[in-house]
Structure 1
């Protein structure tokens, strides 16, 4: 998945009609390197003479139990002083941290390993619920598909929003995620087992501005309200009201982070009674008021 981020740069070249980016893979010793799936990846050996604009450290399926070699860490420190930017995808951030490149910086990583990063590197300001973070020339991302979001953000910075949108369309990326967006999806967390409950949730997501009573959701699922409430709770572990509030919060947070709409408009669009009601839900769900979420996103 870390290597898949190269497709973003490949399709950026196709969108601009010229080879703006050139990608190469490097390793400590060079030669063929086996991926976690067992596929062989051809690499060049790291050399102090290499002049590279952007370095990206790929992640592995778990944080390294032992740090990279002193040679690799020294190389990364030199590279950070010469390259325009350096990034760590997923647990690749641990490699940057071992090299001291994340000291006194904001960073993120795969949510499953964020606390491990916090405990191992006390000088890193880890934000475990972010898709990617840019702190000066240092970029870090969450795991798996978040590497695509990080690469797309680099393309947008280099070539503009129109090219980034073109790349996203070509790669069939359903939604370009902002760096401040949560790593977690409310719909994914609910994970209903039946199509009926999934249909009700899809109906809710498309009609968040509506009241969305249990009767409305039961009708979308073609069940009686009583039967729907029982099946919904069994399959998701939440009551319908709690799940709908989670969907409203997710949608409102995204609008707050990415749009310039007022909080009153966002509350109305996502089905909260008013701005005060939305604030109460934000405090329960995130421990922060909407204004603070917007300030963090803009900073």
Structure 2
């Protein structure tokens, strides 16, 4: 049965608060969904003009005609994809996009020295972060891109100074040979944490070396019942030395407290966990008993 129309799927493409376009050196780890935290190597290029970001696909075709002039076959002979935006913050990160890493120098105070040497030759990878209606993340991952065009820079009293660039997205094996990959978070009405096995909530008290495999119970928009999933969300720890994270598995490492954060669709869940060894738990119990006896 075909799905009915849903106005929640109609959106503007607004920038993510705190940064919308990020750049990193080639080889930096790529996020695997719409909510994965970015590697520290990604640098925010600053505010983008109100024209936003444009994504364009161009294609060339070749046709075969028969004797009478009818087209009997048309094939796509080549395609290319580009992204365009104008950076309106004058800062080191945006200057490196426009002019290239080797042409931009910044001292400890932030003074910039920029050599205008035509188009930059650097290949870099980019992440574009957009937010759809309902705080729904929409992420574009561009593993390899080259600046192929730049806009003229105007200096006047009515327009913001900006560096406009066009990025040519290059095919990359890390995303199956595609030129970019878009991740759009689901619309969910209700989410809660669970364990992968059984139907219980995760424990808030753990012993060192104890593990828990997390799952998420979520109700997709328009659905009547929740589903339990073990993928499609991101887990982080406030203190990896106390609670380590690998995928959706958390492992207690040493006595202490840590908060586990789970990012799913447009929701953030948290779980505060106390890690205590048997010796620490026994000492705590004795202390409470002593206080009670007094």
Q: TM-score range by the shorter chain?
A: under 0.3
Query: TM-score w.r.t. structure 2 length?
Result: 0.21
* Higher share in helix: 1
Q: Larger Rg: 1 or 2?
A: 2
TM-score scaled by length of structure 1: 0.21
Structure with the bigger percentage of strand = 2
Tell me: higher relative CO, structure 1 or 2? Use CA pairs within 8 A at least 6 residues apart. 2
